[in-house]
Amino acid sequence: MSNSAWVVGARAMISLRYLMICLLALLPASAWAQTWLDSDRLTFSGFGTLGVVHNNSDEADFVSDLGQPKGAGEGWSARVDTLLGAQARLKLNEQFDIMAQGISRYHYTGNFRPELSWAFVRYIPAPDWQLRAGRLGLDSYLLSDSRHVGYAYPWLRPPVDHFGILQLDYIEGVDATYRRPLGDGLAWAKLFVGRSKSHVVLTDDLSAEIDIDHVYGGHLNYATGSWQFRVSYTKSDSETNFSGDYTGGVDNVYALLTYQLIKQAFVYRSMQLYSLGMIYEPGAWQLQAMRNQSETDENGIIDSGFASAGYRVGPTTPYVMFSRVWTSFPGIPAGQSFEQQTWSLGLRYDVASNLALKTQVDRVHVHKPGLLWRDTGADWDSGGGHVTLVSFGLDFVF
């Protein structure tokens, strides 16, 4: 990275008030293992990412998920990937504990305002059972409830084509998990039910608040040897309230069309999500693949998936990944609905047992633009194009 890039990155950091204050407070912290592993009843721990991304396109700003109102424009930006999370856990006895976790990241409010992402009581009546009640991370597919914990995965960020379109962070409700050995491996099942609220940005001019009266679902898992498999189902009943008016000018017919069609597409009362996931980690290899399909009661369909392969050599893990998202909505002509695919090539370097440096290059081919881009130009709106992103990140846990 050039000096000027660091300067731009550093300047962007200044706006991240919450993060810097918290990071300064963390400097004297010892290795995380000692902080959160001590046998005291009350433990504090946290995670974070300092990330900068370079976008080569002046036609479209990159976001890492649907909730971000502004993106990373041409040049360097620390907005979309940087975050900080902190957790407090109180162990009452062998059967009960309480956990609360907050996160500060750039999201729908347009700033890094911290949010309470988890707050629950857990009850473990027997080794086979676990029950939790409170605010719980949405666990509708593999890694969905830990996608902000950069230190936990090889990539600089989870594949945006697959995770960026997820509209829910957490539910308020209960879940139950049952585990038992099966054959040579371990099987477990989880059921969850609750309610939630979600804020998404659909175009520069159109935001939606989705009130989810009921969300329920579950998943079945099987792990044996180096393999893990999951099949999941989630259903939600919701009401969408839009805000914002079209301001793109009547001459940009594509932007106007997108605005109207996307608005129409997000008027639905219920959505079902099906997901398949697989992890294979024999020794040095780290292979993952997932496939999702969401379907609304208005016959809108969002498909996505990715496959990733990494190989660990000492502290270095190079990886390659391919991801894709494609949509179809009634009312949007075939082939005109949002669709894109991404090739990613990256490297994770484990500096210490609580610190990883990462770099990643993404080549995004946007077949039909929409949903995951901001401040788009008129040329782009008519046909999309290619975008190259170069990112650097520092992930840590404490």
Partner 1 sequence: MPRIHYLVITALLLHTGLAQADIAMVTNADNGIDQLSQSDALNIFMGRYRKLPNGALALPIDLVPLKARFYHALVNKDLAEINSYWARLVFSGQGSPPQQADSAAEVINLVVHNPSALSYVDAARVTPEMRVVLVLHE
Question: Which of 164, 271, 261, 267 lies closest to 208 in space, CA to CA?
Answer: 267
Judged by CB under 8 A, the residue of 62, 106, 118, 338 near partner 1 is 118
Instruction: Give residues with Cβ within 8 angstroms of 3, minimum separation 6.
Output: none
Q: Which of 143, 371 has the CB closer to partner 1?
A: 143
Q: Is 143 in the site for partner 1 (CB under 8 A)?
A: yes
Per CB under 8 A, which region of 148-156, 253-261, 332-340, 382-390 contacts partner 1?
148-156
Q: For residue 340, how many other CB atoms are within 10 A of its CB? A: 24
366, two tokens: 């946007």
CB of 15 to partner 1, least distance (A): 25
Q: Is 149 in the site for partner 1 (CB under 8 A)?
A: yes
Q: Which of 21, 33 has the CB closer to partner 1?
A: 33
In eight-state DSSP terms, residue 157 is S
Q: How far is CA 397 from CA 40, 46, 260, in A?
A: 19, 6, 43
Q: Is 322 in the site for partner 1 (CB under 8 A)?
A: no
Q: Is 99 in the site for partner 1 (CB under 8 A)?
A: yes
Q: Which of 315, 331 has the CB closer to partner 1?
A: 315
Judged by CB under 8 A, the residue of 111, 146, 341, 382 near partner 1 is 146
32, two tokens: 């995380």
245: helix, strand or coil: coil
Phi and psi angles of residue 379, each rounded to the nearest 5 degrees, phi first? -60, -45
CB of 49 to partner 1, least distance (A): 12
CA distance 148 to 137: 11
Instruction: Give residues with Cβ within 8 angstroms of 302, minimum separation 6.
Output: 165, 292, 293, 294, 325, 327
Q: Which of 356, 387 has the CB closer to partner 1?
A: 356
CA distance 328 to 54: 30
Judged by CB under 8 A, the residue of 74, 145, 172, 298 near partner 1 is 145
**Residue located via tokens 């000027």:** 4
Residues 109 and 68 sit within 8 Å (Cβ to Cβ): no
In eight-state DSSP terms, residue 333 is P
Distance of CA 241 to the CA centre of its chain: 23
Q: Which of 124, 390 has the CB closer to partner 1?
A: 124
Phi and psi angles of residue 163, each rounded to the nearest 5 degrees, phi first? -90, -25
Per CB under 8 A, which region of 156-164, 271-279, 287-295, 347-355 contacts partner 1?
347-355
What binding mask, one character per residue, do residues 278-307 give for partner 1 by CB under 8 A, x or -? -----x------------------------
CB of 289 to partner 1, least distance (A): 17
CA distance 115 to 223: 33
Per CB under 8 A, which region of 69-77, 185-193, 239-247, 329-337 contacts partner 1?
185-193
Query: Interaction with partner 1 in 217-276: which residues (CB under 8 A)?
Result: 223
Q: Is 122 in the site for partner 1 (CB under 8 A)?
A: yes
Please give the residue ranges that form the binding site for partner 1 (CB under 8 A): 32-34, 36-39, 43, 45, 47, 85, 87, 89, 94, 99, 101, 118, 120, 122, 124, 126-128, 132, 136-137, 139, 143, 145-146, 149, 151-153, 179-181, 184-186, 188, 223, 283, 312, 315, 350, 352-354, 356, 397
